[in-house]
Structure 1
Amino acid sequence: MSSEKRTTETPISPPSETPPLRRSSSGLSEADARTSKKYAAFGNIPLSHAPQGQSSRWDVLTDKLLGWSVESRGILPVPPEQRTDPQFWKVFFLWLSANLNILSFSAGTLGPIAFGLNLKDSFGVIVGFNVLGCLLPAYFATFGPKLGLRQMCQARYSFGFYWVTIPAFLNSTTMFGFMVLNCILGGQTLSSASIAMASDGTPAGGGMSWDVGIVVVGIVSLFISFCGFRVLNLYERVAWLPILIVYCIALGVSGKDLISSSPALPEHGSAQQILTFGASIAGFVISYCPLSSDFTSYFPPHVPGWKVFLSTFAGLFLPTVLVQLLGAAFATALLTNPAWTNAYNSAGLAGLFHIILLPAGPGFARFLLVVLAFSVTANVAPTLYSFSLSAQTTLPFDWIVRVPRFIFSFVCTAALVPISIVASTRFYSALNNFLGLISYWSACFGAVVTVEHLVFRRGSFANYRVEDWDRARRLPPGYAAILGAVTGIGIIVLCMDQVWFVGPIAKTTGDIGFEIGFAVSACTYAVLRGIEQRIAHR
């Protein structure tokens, strides 16, 4: 890490026995760029804190970890010489595995169960709002190969060095919330797999508790995330296949029980129901925009942006829509199927899966439940990986880049498991409220970053000075970004429709918060950023 102070534009020379640390165009000091070549294949950086010529126990441990392909790099920019992974299609499989899990299924069930929408309306909302929600994450993924910056570090070029800590904190909170929901669902499914279930949907007593299942899911996810980008990509490349097979079996053995409509649901949903469910569906995928370039920063700069965009969009859209449609279909049938209703009331979504798979055979059904339970690790692992990067950006200190990324994964998991256990009894209310809320701030964030790139950077990555990524005085002040986002959130309050609050506009229209928030934030930021540039000249 460069020893220059953040408040100066030229480096201050260190003691004479140490050569000055000059920055390269990649944003790394020349010393870091040289010494990191040993681990370039894994995107690692030197972590030594001991005096020159000496090695501490920490250095020995980290050297062993780096030798095992564990990635230590955090938010330091990835220099062009390390952006060498030409397999840009990997990002498709990463998102495919991450979104083919049972949390996507649970989001689809919200239409009939939580919002009272019939199957046709639920299908329309799921397809339409996912198209909107996937656009921003897919677009932001194209920034990674061009700049080598993690998403929250790239956001410094609009929010500034210090103010970006606010969206970074919100992003960390959002990802933590997603991981909690995944751990709860995975733990409940593991618990259901440990007990027998009667054909009428009555589960037997005993078996593994939810708490133990949550701990198991958390530990497995930590291991995958701990190893870093390389292992994560290998896992995500194959994790989708067994999950897809389970869904196909579920359709094969219980598809005959699906119905196109239910007398318990209205023939036509109201605009308020449709838009509020749409906000939850959009929130499921739009929340990926503050982290999408975290997984593309090792791709070469010459990779065409449209290929990265399409790979990301397809990886997000296809599994999310297909599994959510499946969730809506089974939830509609649930309302008129006494056995399914009994299983759902007894053991939640895990019980519903159990009764759906039961015709395949009691023992085989429990095996399939185990596969489904571990499907959440394909989502938790990359989220945990990205959480560690966002958490580093939340702490605007020079030394933070020297903290290995996997340390944050350990700390997060230590908090994740107990919080998931506490929240496990209120899964559906937590899911409904959480998905609606995260779409709001993500839309405002996306609006600011998009306007900065298209308007003030003229859509050109050449207009970013990557070497200034951690220089507060070279980055925008960030006041325009914060005011633009806050203005958008202020309008959102009037347009939001949640269980605990309904805005005056939403009482008539339904939840249109994230759409209006995006538009207002974009317009406000465009005006304020122009003023900010004239005053601050940066």
Structure 2
Amino acid sequence: MTSLEKSASPEVLDGKIPVENTMNEVETSGRAQTWFRKVFLGVELRGIERVMPEDRQSKGVINNLLMWWSVNCVLTTIPIGTLGPAIFGMGLRDTILSIIGFTILGCFTTAFCATLGPKLGLRQMVISRFSFGWWGAVVLSLLNIITQIGFSVIAVILGGQTLVYVCGSNLPLSVAIIIVSVMTLLICFFGYDLVHKWERYAWILISIIMCILYGTGHKYYSWTPSTSSGADLAGSVLSFGGVVFGSVIGWAPIAADYNVMLPEDTNAWKVFGLTFLGLFIPLVFVETLGALYGAALINNPAWNAIYEDGNAGLGSVLGESLSSLGGFGKFLVFILALSVVSNNVPNTYSAALSIQTLGKPFQRIPRFIWTVLVAVIYTVAGVAGKSRLSEILNNFLSILSYWTTPFVIVLALEHFVFRRRNGYNVDDYNDRSKLPLGLAGGLAFIIGVVGAVLGMNQTWYVGPVGKLTGTYGGDLGFEMAIGFTTVSFLVLRHFELKYSGREQLREYPSPNYI
């Protein structure tokens, strides 16, 4: 049997051969496979199939910290902090304390999800099949695709606005958005290894630029107190906290995607700790910078006018701050604009994997083709929404936590409560008949979303619980989702295991339990 014939065999389709011979379960002829390899030299052909322990690469777990640092120490993170003073009327002290507290909560969720990658060798949305069943995972994958595209829209708009500041009126914003999208696509197209190589070093220069920005804007910082107090201030903190929490937990549905090549016996606490720090340090560092600039907008009418300009935005404000450095300052703004690529890479890569999780017909199309489609979608959306960045950011990040919170809670309860002794039979990941029905996970998810709706506080809808805090209400969406999901899943999963007769958590050897 030739190597090409082997690559079309069932063993290949189960991911049981080295990465370079895996074809994403694409049912193509040997000639077609040869064409793929020649034309797309160096492109990752693996999709969502399990990475077997013998195929793992011995990469240092420290890459976890560096990757998430690069992903979050970017231009895209700064506007989140500005929302505290600029939109919610919060003083710097209250804004920074909220950033720290809600970031810690979000980091716990994403760091937990990251630990599942090395142990199971599966992508995050595929892992969800063991909690939500086949069809539940399909629904979650659709939500995740929308989420990652939403993140990407924010990234390309902000990066494009900043490029326009550097290049002037000669560069239309629409063209700048396309430039950022193409740069992202070039990295994601080739796959896992190039993604990690880029993120391993991208954080260094951007971290230095962030430090410079702290210094150049210092004369405009305002430590004035919040414009509200008591229950009204509590409402602002809850609403702003929902945005901050959403910006962190938004990585949970893709966290395991970037650990599947780590050895199976990688210490879970190391993965958890380094992921936590890789998220927490840059998020607090950069969002605090954003909070300072958000307060500066109040004291600097010229900056505020630039900020309100739909074709300029925050990127131009940062450019004005660095203008005192002359040509070097413009160079720094240019590099800062391109930093959004680091943030956008995992969005694009994981959205393509989520498309493959929709079903076997989608698996037959290679990941890199879906990557191109995702990039086209968010580029078009970015061009269409280029003048409404602040509105998109505020609404999107708040709503994001309404579905990701129930998702993570179900995943964690399934892992720590129901699979504590039995572990996972990872060979069942692509067999619909051996996966749980997912009724418990699906119903608990819906109940959790209902809880989020009751507690939400958005411009277009305020839930009955969300109205209770202060004059303008406070967003308790994700907090309500936690409580509703936890109680309902613990009860429903017990009955599902007892009466469904579908999947009884048989006594598997459980080396994959963390």
Q: TM-score, normalised by structure 1?
A: 0.87
Please state if 1:357 is matched with 2:322: yes
Q: Which sections of structure 1, spanning at least 5 residues, go unmatched?
A: 1-17, 23-28, 196-205
Please state if 1:280 is matched with 2:259: no
User: In 2, are the aligned partners of 1:495 and 1:503 still within 8 Å (CA)?
Assistant: yes
Amino acid in the other structure paired with 2:338: F
Please state if 1:422 is matched with 2:359: no
Report the CA distance between 1:164 and its aligned residue.
1.2
Match of 1:63 in 2: 37
Residues 507 and 79 (structure 1 numbering): CA distance in 2 closer, same or farther, change over 3 Å? same
Match of 1:220 in 2: 183
Match of 2:102 in 1: 129
CA distance, structure 2, for counterparts of residue 336 and residue 453 of structure 1: 50
Match of 1:185 in 2: 158
- After superposition, the CA RMSD in angstroms is 2.1
Report the CA distance between 1:38 and its aligned residue.
6.8
Amino acid in the other structure paired with 2:405: A
Amino acid in the other structure paired with 2:330: R
Residue of 529, 532, 535 corresponding to 2:493:
529
Report the CA distance between 1:328 and its aligned residue.
0.3
Report the CA distance between 1:508 and its aligned residue.
1.1
User: In 1, are the aligned partners of 2:19 and 2:46 still within 8 Å (CA)?
Assistant: no
Q: For residues 266-345 of structure 1, what are the structure 2 equivalents within 5 Å?
A: 266=228, 270-345=233-308
Please state if 1:520 is matched with 2:468: no
Residue of 466, 470, 485 corresponding to 1:506:
466
Amino acid in the other structure paired with 1:133: G
Report the CA distance between 1:32 and its aligned residue.
4.3
Match of 2:401 in 1: 439
Q: Secondary structure at the match of 1:291?
A: helix
Amino acid in the other structure paired with 2:223: S
Q: Secondary structure at the match of 1:425?
A: coil
Q: Secondary structure at the match of 2:430?
A: coil
Match of 2:85 in 1: 112
CA distance, structure 1, for counterparts of residue 15 and residue 392 of structure 2: 48
CA offsets, 1:314-369, max 9 Å, x none? 111110111000100111022011332233234211221111111111x2222111
User: In 2, are the aligned partners of 1:169 and 1:390 still within 8 Å (CA)?
Assistant: yes
Amino acid in the other structure paired with 1:512: L
CA offsets, 1:478-522, max 9 Å, x none? 111111011111121111001110111111131111011012112
Residue of 239, 250, 254 corresponding to 2:213:
250
CA distance, structure 1, for counterparts of residue 57 and residue 378 of structure 2: 34
Please state if 1:387 is matched with 2:361: no
Q: For residues 485-496 of structure 1, what are the structure 2 equivalents within 5 Å?
A: 485-496=445-456
Please state if 1:411 is matched with 2:383: no
User: In 2, are the aligned partners of 1:118 and 1:266 still within 8 Å (CA)?
Assistant: no
Which is greater in Rg?
1
Residues 280 and 38 (structure 1 numbering): CA distance in 2 closer, same or farther, change over 3 Å? closer
Identity %: 37
Please state if 1:453 is matched with 2:429: no
CA offsets, 1:113-168, max 9 Å, x none? 11111111101110000000110110111111111010111110010012211111
Report the CA distance between 1:65 and its aligned residue.
5.6
Amino acid in the other structure paired with 2:199: E
Amino acid in the other structure paired with 2:66: F
Residues 245 and 471 (structure 1 numbering): CA distance in 2 closer, same or farther, change over 3 Å? same
Bigger Cα displacement from structure 2, 424-433 vs 400-409:
400-409
Report the CA distance between 1:45 and its aligned residue.
5.4
CA distance, structure 2, for counterparts of residue 270 and residue 254 of structure 1: 26
CA distance, structure 1, for counterparts of residue 306 and residue 493 of structure 2: 55
CA offsets, 1:162-183, max 9 Å, x none? 2211111111100110000000
Match of 2:48 in 1: 75
CA offsets, 1:271-317, max 9 Å, x none? 11110110010000011111100001110011100000011111111
Q: For residues 90-169 of structure 1, what are the structure 2 equivalents within 5 Å?
A: 90-169=63-142
Match of 2:313 in 1: 348
Report the CA distance between 1:84 and its aligned residue.
2.5
Bigger Cα displacement from structure 2, 183-192 vs 76-85:
76-85
Q: Which sections of structure 2, spanning at least 5 residues, go unmatched?
A: 504-514
User: In 2, are the aligned partners of 1:112 and 1:265 still within 8 Å (CA)?
Assistant: no
Please state if 1:175 is matched with 2:151: no
Residues 478 and 484 (structure 1 numbering): CA distance in 2 closer, same or farther, change over 3 Å? same
Q: Secondary structure at the match of 1:163?
A: helix
Amino acid in the other structure paired with 1:451: L
Residue of 184, 191, 194 corresponding to 2:167:
194
User: In 2, are the aligned partners of 1:105 and 1:324 still within 8 Å (CA)?
Assistant: yes
User: In 2, are the aligned partners of 1:481 and 1:525 still within 8 Å (CA)?
Assistant: yes
Report the CA distance between 1:46 and its aligned residue.
7.3
Residues 270 and 116 (structure 1 numbering): CA distance in 2 closer, same or farther, change over 3 Å? same
User: In 2, are the aligned partners of 1:392 and 1:401 still within 8 Å (CA)?
Assistant: yes
CA distance, structure 1, for counterparts of residue 453 and residue 189 of structure 2: 38
Match of 2:512 in 1: none
CA offsets, 1:440-489, max 9 Å, x none? 1000111111111111101x5x6200110011111100111111011111
Q: Secondary structure at the match of 2:462?
A: coil
Aligned positions, number: 490
Q: TM-score, normalised by structure 2?
A: 0.91
User: In 2, are the aligned partners of 1:118 and 1:267 still within 8 Å (CA)?
Assistant: no
CA distance, structure 2, for counterparts of residue 87 and residue 239 of structure 1: 17
CA distance, structure 1, for counterparts of residue 14 and residue 385 of structure 2: 44
Residue of 179, 198, 202 corresponding to 1:235:
198
Amino acid in the other structure paired with 1:491: G
